[in-house]
Chains A and B, each alone.
Chain A
Amino acid sequence: MAETTVKADAPAKREGPKLPVLEREKLILNKRSYNWITERICGVVENPQPLLWWLLFIPCAIIAAVGVGGGLFHLVSTGVGVWGNTNRAMWGWPIVNFVFWIGIGHAGTLISAILFLTRQNWRTSINRAAEAMTIFAVCCAGIFPAFHVGRVWMAWFLAPIPNPNQIWQNFKSPLLWDVFAVSTYFTVSLIFWFLGMVPDLATIRDRATGKVRKFLYGIFALGWRGANRHWSHYEMAYLLLAALSTPLVLSVHSVVSFDFATSVVPGWHTTIFPPYFVAGAIFGGFAMVLTIMIPARFIYGLKDLITMKHIDNMAKIILLTGSIVGYAYLMELFMAFYGAAKYEMEAFKLRLTGPYWWAYVAMMSCNVISPQLFWWKKCRENLWVVMGVCMCVNIGMWFERFVIIVTTLSRMWLPGDWKYYYPSGEDIMLFVGTIGMFLTLFLLFLRFLPCINIAEVKWTKEESDPHFEDQEDHPDEGAEKIAAYQMELEKGEAKA
Chain B
Amino acid sequence: MSTTVKRVYGYLAEFESASKLYKAAEKVRDAGFEKWDCYSPYPIHGLDNAMGIKRSILPYMVFFGGLTGFFTALALAYITQVSIYPTVVQGKPANIFTVPAFFPIMFELTVLFSGFTTLFGLLGLMQLPRYNHPLFASKQFARVTDDGFFIAIEARDPKFSAESTKQLLADIGGANIELVEDEN
Known contacts A466-B22, A473-B23; decide if A232 and B101 are in contact (CB<8 Å): no
Contact (Cβ within 8 A) B115 A191: yes
Smallest CB gap from B54: residue in A = A232
Contact (Cβ within 8 A) A244 B115: yes
B161 touches A (CB below 8 Å):
no
Known contacts A172-B89, A195-B119; decide if A232 and B48 are in contact (CB<8 Å): yes
A160, A241, A455: the one contacting B76 at CB < 8 Å is: A160
Contact (Cβ within 8 A) A225 B53: no
Smallest CB gap from B90: residue in A = A172
Contact (Cβ within 8 A) A34 B85: no
Number of chain A interface residues as a range: 35 or more
Contact (Cβ within 8 A) A226 B40: yes
Contact (Cβ within 8 A) B17 A226: no
- What is the CA–CA distance of A205 and B125 in the complex, to the nearest angstrom? 22
Could you tell me the distance in whole angstroms from the C-beta of B89 to the nearest C-beta in chain A? 6
Mark A193-213 against chain B: 1 for CB-CB distance below 8 A, else 0: 001000100110111000000
Could you tell me the distance in whole angstroms from the C-beta of A142 to the nearest C-beta in chain B? 15
A187 touches B (CB below 8 Å):
yes
- What is the CA–CA distance of A174 and B103 in the complex, to the nearest angstrom? 11
Contact (Cβ within 8 A) B38 A225: no
- Find chain B residues with CB under 8 A from A463 CB: 17-19
Contact (Cβ within 8 A) A229 B40: no
Which residues between 257 and 313 of chain A lie within 8 Å of chain B, taking CB atoms? 258
Smallest CB gap from B82: residue in A = A171
Contact (Cβ within 8 A) B98 A160: no
Could you tell me the distance in whole angstroms from the C-beta of A466 to the nearest C-beta in chain B? 4
- What is the CA–CA distance of A233 and B124 in the complex, to the nearest angstrom? 10
Which residues between 85 and 132 of chain B lie within 8 Å of chain A, taking CB atoms? 85, 87, 89-90, 92, 98, 101-102, 104-105, 107-109, 111-112, 114-116, 118-119, 121-123, 125-126, 128-132
Contact (Cβ within 8 A) A177 B105: yes
**Stretch of A79-87, A146-154, A161-169, A435-443 that contacts chain B:** A161-169
Smallest CB gap from B128: residue in A = A222
**Stretch of B3-11, B141-149, B162-170 that contacts chain A:** B141-149
Q: A166-B85, A224-B145, A226-B145 are in contact. List 8 more A-B contacts (CB 8 A).
A: A166-B84, A171-B102, A191-B115, A207-B145, A228-B40, A237-B118, A237-B122, A463-B17
A-B CB contact pairs (8 Å), 22 listed: A170-B89, A171-B81, A172-B92, A184-B112, A222-B130, A224-B145, A226-B39, A227-B37, A228-B37, A228-B43, A230-B126, A232-B43, A233-B125, A234-B122, A235-B43, A235-B56, A237-B122, A240-B59, A240-B114, A458-B42, A466-B21, A467-B19
Give the A-binding residues of B (Cβ under 8 A). Answer: 17-23, 25, 37-48, 50-51, 53, 55-56, 58-59, 62, 76-77, 80-81, 84-85, 87, 89-90, 92, 98, 101-102, 104-105, 107-109, 111-112, 114-116, 118-119, 121-123, 125-126, 128-133, 135-136, 141-147
Which 5 residue pairs across A and B have the least CB separation, nearest first?
A: A466-B22, A34-B147, A222-B129, A168-B80, A236-B56
